[in-house]
Structure 1
Amino acid sequence: MPTYTAPARDARFIINEMLDLASYGNLPGFEMATPDVVDAVISEGGKFSAEVLAPLNRIGDEEGCTRHEDGSVTTPKGFKEAFDQFREAGWGTVAHPEEFGGQGMPHVLGFALEEFISSANQAFGMYPGLTNGAVSALIAQGSQEQKEKYLPKMISNEWTGTMNLTEPHCGTDLGMIRTKAVPNDDGSYAITGTKIFISAGEHDMADNIIHLVLAKTPGAPDSTKGISLFVVPKFIVEDDGSLGERNGVTCGSIEEKMGIHGNATCVLNYDGAKGWMVGEENKGLKAMFIMMNAARLGVGIQGLSQAEVAYQNGVTYALDRRQGRALTGPSEPEAQADPIFVHPDVRRMLMDAKAFTEGMRAFCLWGALLVDLTHKAQTEEERQEADALIGLMTPVIKGYGTDKGYEIATNMQQVYGGHGYIEEWGMSQFVRDARIAQIYEGTNGVQAMDLCGRKLAQNGGAAIQAFFKLIGEEIAAAKDVDGLGDMAGKLEKALGEQQAATMWFMQNAMQNPNHLGAGAHHYMHMMGIVTLGLMWLRMAKTATERLASGSEDKAFYEGKLATARYYMDRYLPDAGALRRKIESGSDSLMALGEEAFATAA
């Protein structure tokens, strides 16, 4: 049976030491996030995830969710009780505004908890995770009446939330949606249509489910410019906050999926359901993108989370399983065989996993800090800079984080050999659950095009230039620190590869947009590699300072430095290969006609 322990020590290192969260204590909400509070939240949140949620992960995979004849859905055994504990402990309230019942603490802590929960039980974590995205959209675009009516109980997780975009005939191209919203006399709208792939669309764990639904009003443009957003509760919420009649939205079926079986992924049928417009008419996509961007960051964390739990189990197995002898001679001559941990190829997979998970954790938590600074930094200039950076980083966190997360999960399955393919060992579930993260909330190809087709050129390229400036300055500073010069030089070379690839796009993509499309995936991965390089340089600098100060936790910091050197040696060189792929352009990619892809009989 697989096991999970929350990486609390590493999370504390990143939050308290690398990010130095206490140094932001002059900003709203940050004053509460003292190192002692951070330690308590990380420790207790990790304990809850490991002891309550992780034991339910396999149960959720095996049992799945059950739809009944009346359209109701029950979750796997133990999920409802665990959700009650989650709600009663207030874990969902940590980073939400105090005005509506949240604790008002930084998103950094919320992101750390999301990782622990998702590692322990990704399917469970999606129920409050989707709610967080719906809350973000309502905070940004909802009326004051809507905020007061829905947010307190959504933040407390008495009610949960969903996002309803996809329809049977359209996914990414939302301009094609057919769901209609016809005005009623009382100011509400009658919502009619079918939505598919709705995570947490129906379940038995909350008193109400608040659906955010994209639909088109009569006469709206037949494109993305004609989309409006509506809040459609499962049960109508009366003026006094009590629940009224059941609304006209039902679960038609539960999707049969490859993984995340413990989450109810529903087909939802809207039959004149009452809904209320959120924000302006025909401006729904703007509101929905707020929710989608929050969800994309959450999905990036899912990539990290499955890599982490698979890595933990891969290490345990490699230390226990005995096969063959070390190439340099028996490591344990008294035993019949050595642990497979001694074999360089197994070490390669384990070190790749360690370097990615610790680097990606730092990336996600830095991203969370940028989210906080977007709203809470002291000056408008600082807020805009943070907003531009997290906008640039969001597709990388989602796309690169989930591509590599899935790769790490499959590599950890490989560590198990044949046992990794057998269900009882649990590695199959990590692989199957990790796979969805590359697909939903915008496939990773869409993320790559968002990065390269929109974010690079946005505002004259201001965000990417700010990123290049930031990383360049940190490289220059690190060169003057004993022991960091070589790492800084390797990161500088990788940064040069990314800058050159960026320039190639500028010079070639305008004349042939296929050049951009052909290289977007490679560029997203290159940027992920370089950004994790920045995270490792920061962690190495922090570890060096702690060792110089005589810290008692010597082994931890020495491990950080060793892993940083591994990352710089083994990950950063890929930036050069990716640049060469990008500069090969699209000619050979697009050369074959469609008929050449058909298989001859």
Structure 2
Amino acid sequence: MAYVAPVEETLFILDHIVPLEEIVATPRFADATRDTVAAVLGEAGRLATDIIAPLNRGADATPARLENGRVRSSPGFAGAMAALAEGGWVGLAASPEHGGAGLPQIVNQSVAEYLSGASLAFQLNPLLSQGQIEALEQHATPQMQALYLPKLISGAWNGTMNLTESQAGSDVGALRTKAEPQGDGTYRITGQKIFITWGDSDINENTCHAVLARLPGAAPGTRGISLFMVPRLIPDADGKPGLANALRVVSLEHKMGIHGSPTCVMSFEGATGWLIGEEGKGMAAMFTMMNNARLAVGVQGVGIAEAALQAATAYAAERVQFGPIIAHADVRRMLATARAEVFAARAICLACAAAIDLARASDDPEAAARAAFLTPIAKAYGTDVGCRVADAAVQVHGGMGYIEETGVAQYLRDVRITPIYEGTNGIQAMDLVGRKLADGGTAAFALIDEVQSGAKSAQEALPALAEAVWQAAESLREATVLMLDAGADDRNAGAVPFLMGFARVLGAHFHLRAALLRPGTNREVLAQIFITRVLPRLSGDLAEARAGVADLQALDDAAFAGVLVA
């Protein structure tokens, strides 16, 4: 079975679970009517299903390659990029001032899910461009915006994010790339960056690098970092790609998956760059890109999960072993649990997108706090679900899942990067229990209150399910209080299970809402599956979250290598 974009499932969530109408009620997004959004999603679904998805296997078998210093893309990607550009999909959420459609993120992220399910390697190209567009909209000068935004929004140029160096991964402040002012408003950029997604392209006419570097005499650590625009081809007086800049692709990484996405080692050899934002404020501008990308990566996990689950379901219906294997209880367990988790992860990601939209449209601090709190949950849970469902899809296929020709192994290989890049899921969890609980738990408790209010509303119609969700939220409330009182090391040791527990409670909340809307249907059955099979894992999550760090620190380093008796 080929991938089919789940347009109707998205519309159900936008109609009933994470209501689009609240966003449309704001002046900023008044034109994003239900009919408009349905038409946009329908067209995006056709693009993903008919044009991009058929390229996915070929891109895996024929990866991007480096040839005479330039990247050559996988077969068909140039045509897909042309279709993406022609439809205006890169600038879907960008400001109309520079050619964007100005639609809400909840629509943009839904489209991103379809593109990710169709081909994650391809989708990474517009994803990074969209992050750079947002950073430029918020931090660049009007002159830089006028030059770069129309090209990025149109898809003619692509954008990248250059943070990582061999000695500076999560510790960004350890970077060594230098920027020297030239006295004419430009800077000379020197250094090497690794893991640069789509760092060069033959499907876009220019590649625009957002590069973190340190100015002479700048403060140590992240406080002294600035952000620079460093294009591969320097725009001429008319804004057209001109002379080649002093940068090059040193090599492409040989990766486990996403073979069609060129992951470049970039060398900046006195390249010409222009400051984005203020000196020493580079991390603020880069975090704009990273926060955009973190939600988008969670959505990538959902997209791959959907594609893998579709493939597994089709195979289970066709494969006969004592009858079609879809009739076997354990296979049904894997498929049903996967479907329940995909719904939960999709709803969480779209709830995060909706909060972002409401914060931007109304300057509502509560919506902004909600968006900030949901971002690490959406990223981590979405990508973990992607990995779990892709793994289950291989298991459903049995031995054939381990054979590349079936295609499901590619989903598992491709999705495995998503819990790592744009901030590992461990970092997301530490952000949740650190920065995001720094408000005294206000945002966390607001979400927990919402879950319990929803459970009370469902008490009469669905008493057993509602009671389970209410009690789970209460347990989460108690764990949140303990997290607030714990020391930093104890919080960090329990951060990942705490985040997963929070995600499970939110997922149960959204399932309960769906069941209440459609009692006696598959919606209610799916909610029961999530609440009785997935939600009970919360007790283990919270037990680990409360365990602290003492036992982890007590274990000698040598024990990790198997030296248990000195």
Alignment-derived partner of residue 525 in structure 1: 500
3-state SS, counterpart of residue 416 of structure 2: helix
> Which among 406, 424, 430 is matched to residue 411 of structure 2?
430
Alignment-derived partner of residue 430 in structure 2: 449
Contact in 1 for aligned 2:445/2:477 (Cα 8 Å): no
Deviation at 1:411, TM superposition (A): 0.8
Alignment-derived partner of residue 448 in structure 2: 468
Alignment-derived partner of residue 549 in structure 1: none
Deviation at 1:231, TM superposition (A): 0.9
Contact in 1 for aligned 2:349/2:382 (Cα 8 Å): no
Q: Distance in 1 between matches of 2:239 and 2:367?
A: 37
Q: Distance in 1 between matches of 2:235 and 2:511?
A: 49
Deviation at 1:179, TM superposition (A): 0.2
Q: What is the RMSD computed on CA atoms of the aligned residues?
A: 1.5
Q: Distance in 2 between matches of 1:308 and 1:13?
A: 16
Question: Could you say if the C-alpha distance between residues 301 and 497 of structure 1 is closer, same or farther in structure 2, counting changes exceeding 3 Å?
Answer: same
Alignment-derived partner of residue 342 in structure 2: 357
Unaligned runs of 5+ residues in structure 1 are 324-336, 545-556
Alignment-derived partner of residue 486 in structure 1: 464
Alignment-derived partner of residue 325 in structure 2: 340
Q: Distance in 2 between matches of 1:139 and 1:113?
A: 21
Q: Deviations over 1:165-199 (max 9, x none)?
A: 00011100011000000001211100000000000
Q: Distance in 1 between matches of 2:38 and 2:434?
A: 41
Alignment-derived partner of residue 232 in structure 1: 230
Q: Distance in 1 between matches of 2:24 and 2:414?
A: 38
Deviation at 1:269, TM superposition (A): 0.4
Deviation at 1:47, TM superposition (A): 1.0
> Which among 98, 112, 129 is matched to residue 114 of structure 1?
112
Alignment-derived partner of residue 593 in structure 1: 556
Q: Distance in 1 between matches of 2:107 and 2:411?
A: 24
Task: Give yes or no for the alignment of 1:65 onto 2:45.
Answer: no
Q: Deviations over 1:273-293 (max 9, x none)?
A: 111111111111111111101
> Which among 292, 295, 304 is matched to residue 294 of structure 1?
292
Alignment-derived partner of residue 52 in structure 1: 51
> Which among 533, 539, 546 is matched to residue 583 of structure 1?
546
Contact in 2 for aligned 1:18/1:542 (Cα 8 Å): no
Task: Give yes or no for the alignment of 1:564 onto 2:527.
Answer: yes
Choose 86-95 or 406-415, whichever is displaced more: 86-95
Task: Give yes or no for the alignment of 1:186 onto 2:171.
Answer: no
* TM-score, with structure 1 as normaliser: 0.91
3-state SS, counterpart of residue 209 of structure 2: strand
3-state SS, counterpart of residue 92 of structure 1: coil
Alignment-derived partner of residue 216 in structure 1: 214
Contact in 1 for aligned 2:91/2:130 (Cα 8 Å): no
Question: Could you say if the C-alpha distance between residues 237 and 578 of structure 1 is closer, same or farther in structure 2, counting changes exceeding 3 Å?
Answer: same
Contact in 2 for aligned 1:21/1:30 (Cα 8 Å): no
Alignment-derived partner of residue 332 in structure 1: none
Alignment-derived partner of residue 156 in structure 1: 154
Alignment coverage as a number of residue pairs: 564
3-state SS, counterpart of residue 389 of structure 2: helix
> Which among 385, 395, 400 is matched to residue 419 of structure 1?
400
Amino acid at match of 1:17: H
3-state SS, counterpart of residue 494 of structure 2: helix
3-state SS, counterpart of residue 91 of structure 1: coil
Where do 1:25-40 residues align within 5 Å?
25-40=24-39
Contact in 2 for aligned 1:190/1:275 (Cα 8 Å): yes
3-state SS, counterpart of residue 215 of structure 2: coil
3-state SS, counterpart of residue 21 of structure 2: helix
Q: Distance in 2 between matches of 1:239 and 1:370?
A: 41
Q: Distance in 2 between matches of 1:361 and 1:80?
A: 29
Amino acid at match of 1:492: W
Task: Give yes or no for the alignment of 1:376 onto 2:354.
Answer: no
Deviation at 1:357, TM superposition (A): 0.9
Alignment-derived partner of residue 548 in structure 1: none
Deviation at 1:25, TM superposition (A): 3.1
Q: Distance in 1 between matches of 2:388 and 2:16?
A: 29
Q: Distance in 2 between matches of 1:279 and 1:23?
A: 33
